[in-house]
A and B are shown apart, each in its own frame.
Chain A
Amino acid sequence: MIRLRDIERYYRNGLRKAWVLNQVNLDIKEGEFVTIMGPSGAGKSTLLNIIGMLEEPSGGSYYFYDEAVHQFNERKRSDLHKAYMGFVFQAYHLIDDLTVYENIETPLLYRNVKGKERKSMVAEILDRFNIVAKKDLFPEQLSGGQQQLVGVARAVISRPRLLLADEPTGNLHTKQGDQIMELFKELNDEGVTIIQVTHSERNASFGTRIIELIDGNIRRDEQLREPSNQADTPKGVPNGK
């Protein structure tokens, strides 16, 4: 699904380049549940953003379903992002002015899903995540754990093939964190590929593979177990949209 070759990312600091990612090579197959670990400032978020096409690498090649993303323009990249990916943030990043229901609905609006279908999709997710009672509340009326549940619901409502999560449990208690991880495992069992960044070994144990990043280099790449739901035949990138 994902193939990174010699990916680098640096920032110019006067005449010198400050490297954040250095010659990263990485392959991720469909159905994997990958955990990226490493000290703060190692480049984990940067790597996740590059995979999520929110950020461009300074050099190297990135193939997504064999498409050369590094050659795409911004528009095509954001189309791919929209078609295949969901994002979960440490800080939840819900829209304050929208209710739980509306927050979850938003990705569907941008994908031109019709009203009736939209309604049933949101209802289904609310039900599955056990937050039906909360649907008319605003984010500030929810606890952190509940907000992150909404965040995950919003990320998966558009049925992404790839879920990217940057320290999704960083602001949560262990119990709330476990709930999110259970959910991730469930989604992964259903075939969603997941890449998460975390500092917690406990969270990592839910995944199938651990990658340790130090100073922009991959230091460890350990397979915990076989992905339960080995990739069905990879679907190619559809033309156009």
Chain B
Amino acid sequence: MFRHYLTITIRNLRRDLGYSLINILGLGMGIAVSLLLFFWVRHELSFDRFHTDAGRIYQIAFNFPADNGQYDTWTSAPAPFAEKIGEEIPEAEAALFVSFPRQLAFQKDQTPYQEKGLYVDKSFLDVFAFPLLEGRKEGLLHQPGFIVLSEKLAEKHFGAGWRGQAIGKTLEAAEDESYTVSGVVANPPPNSTLQFDFLLSKEDYLSKNPWDSQWGNFSSRLYLKVKNGTDIPGLEDKLIGLFRKYKGNEERATISLLSFPGRHLYSKLENGKPVGGRITYVRLFIGAAAFLLLIACINFMNLATARATRRSREIGVRKVVGASRGQLAGQFMSEALAIALIATGAGIALVELLKEPFRQITGTELSIHYLEPGTLSLILATGLVAGLLSGSYPAFLLSSFRAVNIFRGKEAGQFSGASLRKGLVVLQFLLSACLIVCALGVQRQVKFIMNKNLGLNRENVVRVPMEGPLYDKYPSLKDEISLTGRQAVRCFQSNAIYGQRRDPRPGVGRQGAG
């Protein structure tokens, strides 16, 4: 029976090849775009979930009273707090100091290059699941001067044969510093908030930035892994109590524990509570994906119905020779599913074509492994939904007509489902119009952001961080730039954009007059 269905499906497709191609490609396009959106959504939802017991990892945030009666929330904390929590709060399985990302200049054969990394507590790799490729887990960052490299940096510095070569070697950095490689970890995956190419110890950080050992400097991030079944509001109260004990005079400050894997999607905070963020886009994209799939299915359904109309005589004949309503419905359903399957194949091909432009637009690298169970079921579910949705109308309505009426041509008018098809076209048109209006709205929004006059001239401005040898040669660099035309060169003690203090080195700002 199945072979019979397949035969008739293929012969039907072949008979109107052009029509079939339009039908399949239309659905394939809808499937491709919604798959891309779904992959993006899945990528966003997977952020920071790969850590073991990710649900038990929290970030500490401080809420300070603001003038308007609200609270300002800082997601940074003083460095010494981590240690005290570790000592005095039993609910905390671990309390981690993690610096904001820092640039560091390394040197290979006299050529300096910059990398971004983090200064972290010893227990960093116990809490965050970045697999250790080489090195002994114990004592990785137990001493100042130890460095853990990402696979990428290890390969960059030591070449492709870094394995067995890197551990114990010394890495030259700027300012005559040098670090000993104690381990190599896998590159942080794209769905990790914590991105780094090297890890250095907290001790190194504090000896370079001694003022950050004070309780008044909220200079770093602080993560907690709490024990199972911890009462979070209770812990928040305990933590603020501990903070006051050491810091004093912060009577009205409070602490919020923010779920670490939740931070990526809910980055917007109000009074210490997550109120939104990227989750808005995630919802928008889910909606858009469903919407697009719906439009594609309606289109498919329409064409399928039109085709089934031309096959009304076949339906009548099948009824007379013994087909039950269910068997006929099954035939149309399996036909729709088979076509949806082909369309899904076409959709996957399109996804492969669109992946690169999509990456360029969204900046998101989608890692799609088709055979992975999650991906496979997502694709099959999309195809199945498309097939069921588009096959249901022809299957259940057409199979209900009576053979005699078909032969007498009586139900031909009804049978073509003319009014329903008109309705579908109108619906499809409305949905498309809606989508176009939304797209235009988003486009204008983006244009507004790009062109809004912020009161400063962003053209011809360059920021050059003074890392490595540049620092020493600042005066000559400045002269050199001045010679090339009418510019202004400014140097700042700190990052002029973020206002956040970095290593006390000047930066160079260059402004050209046109």
* Complexed CA–CA distance, A204 and B496 (Å): 106
- The residue that A97 contacts in the complex, of B1, B12, B319, B324, with Cβ under 8 A, is B12
A107 B322 Cβ-Cβ under 8 A: yes
Q: Kindly state the interface size class of chain A when it binds its partner.
A: 20 to 34
Cβ-defined contact, B4 with A102, below 8 A: yes
User: A97, B15: Cβ atoms under 8 Å?
Assistant: yes
Query: Chain B residues near A158 (CB, 8 Å)?
Result: 322
Chain A min CB distance to B482 (Å): 82
B11 within 8 A of A: yes
**Within 8 Å CB of A82, what residues of B?**
322
B284 near A: Cβ within 8 Å? no
A54-B403, A98-B8 as given contacts; A110 in contact with B321, CB under 8 Å: yes
Considering only residues 90-111 of chain A, those with a C-beta below 8 Å from chain B are 91, 93-98, 102, 105-107, 109-111
Find residues 54-78 in chain A having any chain B CB closer than 8 Å to their own CB.
Answer: 54-55, 75, 78
Chain A 98-127 near chain B by CB (<8 Å), digits 1 or 0:
100010011101110000000000000000
Whether B322 and A54, one on each chain, are in contact in the complex, defined by CB atoms closer than 8 angstroms, is no
Bound complex: CA A93 to CA B323 (Å): 15
A107→B321 contact, CB < 8 A: yes
Q: Is B65 engaged at the interface, CB distance under 8 Å to the other chain?
A: no
Residues of A within 8 A of B318 (CB): 95, 106, 110
Complex Cα gap A49–B314 (Å): 18
Please tell me which one of the listed residues B4, B402, B403, B404 contacts residue A106 in the complex, with CB atoms under 8 A apart: B4
Q: Cβ of B1 and Cβ of A54 under 8 Å apart?
A: no
Find out whether the CB atom of B322 lies under 8 angstroms from the CB atom of A111.
yes
Cβ of B4 to closest chain A Cβ, rounded Å? 6
The number of chain B residues touching the other chain, given as a range, is 20 to 34
**Is B320 an interface residue when CB atoms closer than 8 A count as contact?**
yes
**B394-418 interface bits toward A, Cβ cutoff 8 Å, 1 = contact, 0 = none:** 0000000011100100000000000
| In the complex, A89 has a CB within 8 A of chain B | yes
- Residues from chain B with a CB closer than 8 A to the CB of A89 are 407
A154 close to chain B: CB less than 8 A? yes
| Nearest CB in chain B: distance from A106 CB, A | 6
| B313/A93 in contact, CB under 8 A | yes
**B442 close to A (CB within 8 Å):** no
Whether A33 sits at the interface, judged by CB under 8 Å, is: no
Query: Is A87 part of the contact surface with B, judged by Cβ < 8 Å?
Result: yes
B317: Cβ under 8 A from any A Cβ = yes
Q: Does B327 lie at the interface of the complex (its beta carbon under 8 Å from any beta carbon of A)?
A: yes
In the complex, whether B316 has a CB less than 8 A from a CB of chain A is yes
Complex CA gap A78/B319 in Å reads 9
**B320 and A97 contact, CB distance less than 8 A:** no
Contact between chains at A106 and B321 (CB < 8 Å): yes
B402 near A54 with CB under 8 A, answer yes
Residues from chain B with Cβ under 8 Å of A93 in the complex:
313, 316-317, 320, 407
Do the beta carbons of A78 and B324 come within 8 Å of each other? Answer: yes
Q: Is the CB of B404 within 8 A of A102?
A: no
Contacts of B316 in A (CB 8 A): 93
Within the assembled complex, what's the spacing in Å between the Cα atoms of A87 and B317?
10
Are the C-beta atoms of A110 and B404 separated by less than 8 Å? Answer: no
**A97 cross-chain contacts in B, Cβ below 8 A:** 8, 11-12, 15, 314
- What 0/1 readout, one digit per residue, does chain A (136-158) give for beta carbons within 8 Å of chain B? 00000000000000000010001
Chain B residues in 8 Å Cβ range of A154: 321
The answer to whether B432 has its CB under 8 Å from any CB of chain A is no
Chain A residues near B323: list those with CB within 8 A: 110
Q: Which chain A residues lie closer than 8 Å to B4 at the CB level?
A: 102, 105-106, 109
CB distance from B11 to the nearest CB of A (A): 4
A49 to B7: give the CA distance in the assembly, Å: 31
Bound together, the chains give a CA A27 to CA B156 distance in angstroms of 97
Leading 6 A-B pairs by shortest Cβ distance: A110-B322, A82-B322, A107-B321, A97-B11, A54-B404, A93-B317
The interface of chain B, by Cβ under 8 A from chain A, is 1, 4, 7-8, 11-12, 15, 313-314, 316-324, 327, 402-404, 407
9 contacting pairs across A/B (C-beta < 8 A): A54-B319, A54-B320, A78-B324, A106-B4, A106-B321, A107-B322, A109-B4, A110-B322, A110-B327
**Residues in A lying within 8 Å of B, measured CB to CB:** 49, 54-55, 75, 78, 81-82, 87, 89, 91, 93-98, 102, 105-107, 109-111, 154, 158
5 new A-B contacts at CB < 8 Å, known A87-B320, A107-B322: A54-B403, A87-B321, A95-B317, A107-B321, A110-B327
